[in-house]
């Protein structure tokens, strides 16, 4: 029996790659470099499925070019799907799946990492030390902020938002305030206060951490108005999508000293980084490491595999994305 053909756009960890090769006729982008839209469209023409990552735009033009071929499912390696034109896929009878749940803990861990690094100015300290500029301990050197007992604002109280808030509340005794488009009735084993606007959260929080999906509805949800509502010591943390933050407004706030710092794992034009963020004071920048653990990335690949197995067996897919 002929196996369904699947095109994978980037290399995966070994265990999940092996599972895919066992189940399907896999073509791998061994170069592990970002493919052009034309290359993805060609893959859609010749394969029953493609498995893109969050860095592979599968826009309307790409889907239109590849729609006359074999592809019937776009099995995304990741949770966010704002890089895929879901309406175009639906028009051509293609379904989209993603990998929710399995990267919750890893991403929440990175959010807390960024909070601690930024509050305690650890990035600045490491850069100073590595540059040979550290002159030794002194009482006023690189004074940061204590995180314990502060107020954390969450924008987007989904799985990752809740996991981040739980770590902050139970581990650091932080008060939690949050904004979510729909009402959240239960925060589980920590208390959180839902506020009516993003600006209200910014006004009442020492740190604001973004955990909302990307896309047009949330584009620049943290913009000039929200940043202006933050206290001068306030910290911005983004592990969601680059486009949820107005990077120019954030750079203005940082360079103008209107907020205390930022910790960013995602960027609007990644891998190209806004140069004003690169040289802003008290900013920690990470290269999109949110889900970057061996356990998590393998689990993401295994979830893609299970979605594809179900689809080609004629069953309901475990993780459909509805347009």
Active site residues: 241, 270, 288
- How many CB atoms lie under 10 A from the CB of residue 213? 15
CA 104 to mean position of chain CA atoms: 10
- How many CB atoms lie under 10 A from the CB of residue 162? 23
- How many CB atoms lie under 10 A from the CB of residue 77? 23
- Do the beta carbons of residue 253 and residue 276 sit within 8 Å? no
- Do the beta carbons of residue 237 and residue 118 sit within 8 Å? yes
Cα distance between residue 212 and residue 269, in whole Å: 18
- Do the beta carbons of residue 138 and residue 80 sit within 8 Å? no
Describe the crossing of helices 104-119 and 294-312 by its angle, rounded to 10 degrees: 150
Give 3-state DSSP helix, strand, coil % of the chain, rounded to 5.
Answer: 35, 15, 45
Cα distance between residue 75 and residue 251, in whole Å: 35
Coil/strand/helix, residue 38 = helix
- Do the beta carbons of residue 263 and residue 114 sit within 8 Å? yes
Coil/strand/helix, residue 86 = helix
Q: 117-120 long-range contacts, Cβ below 8 Å, gap at least 24? A: 117/263, 117/284, 118/235, 118/237, 118/261, 118/262, 118/263, 118/282, 118/283, 118/284, 119/144, 119/145, 119/146, 119/147, 119/150, 119/207, 119/235, 119/261, 120/144, 120/145, 120/147
């Amino acid at each position: 029996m002929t196996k369904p053909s699947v095109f994978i756009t980037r290399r995966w960890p070994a265990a999940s790659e092996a599972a895919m090769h066992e189940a399907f006729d896999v073509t791998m982008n061994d170069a592990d470099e970002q493919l052009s839209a034309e290359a993805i469209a060609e893959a859609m023409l010749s394969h029953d499925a493609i498995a893109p990552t969050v860095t592979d735009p599968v826009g309307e033009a790409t889907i239109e070019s590849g729609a006359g071929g074999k592809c019937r499912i776009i099995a995304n390696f990741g949770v966010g799907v704002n890089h895929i034109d879901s309406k175009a896929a639906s028009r051509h009878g293609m379904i989209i799946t993603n990998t929710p749940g399995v990267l919750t803990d890893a991403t929440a861990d990175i959010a807390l990492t960024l909070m601690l690094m930024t509050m305690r100015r650890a990035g600045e300290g490491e850069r100073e030390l590595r540059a040979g500029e550290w002159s030794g301990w002194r009482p006023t050197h690189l004074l940061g902020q204590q995180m314990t007992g502060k107020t954390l604002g969450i924008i987007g109280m989904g799985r990752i938002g809740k996991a981040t808030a739980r770590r902050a509340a139970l581990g650091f005794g932080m008060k939690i305030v949050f904004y979510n488009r729909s009402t959240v009735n239960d925060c589980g084993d920590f208390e959180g206060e839902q506020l009516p606007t993003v600006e209200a959260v910014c006004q009442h929080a020492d740190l604001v951490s973004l955990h909302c999906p990307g896309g047009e509805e949330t584009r620049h949800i943290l913009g000039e108005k929200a940043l202006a509502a933050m206290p001068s010591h306030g910290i911005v943390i983004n592990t969601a999508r680059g486009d949820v933050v107005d990077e120019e407004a954030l750079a203005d706030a940082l360079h103008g000293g209107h907020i205390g710092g930022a910790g960013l794992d995602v960027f609007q034009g990644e891998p190209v980084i806004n140069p004003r963020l690169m040289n802003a004071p008290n900013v920690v920048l990470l290269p999109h490491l949110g889900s970057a653990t061996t356990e998590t990335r393998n689990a993401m690949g295994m979830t893609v595999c299970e979605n594809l197995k179900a689809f080609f067996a004629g069953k309901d897919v475990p993780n459909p994305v509805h347009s």
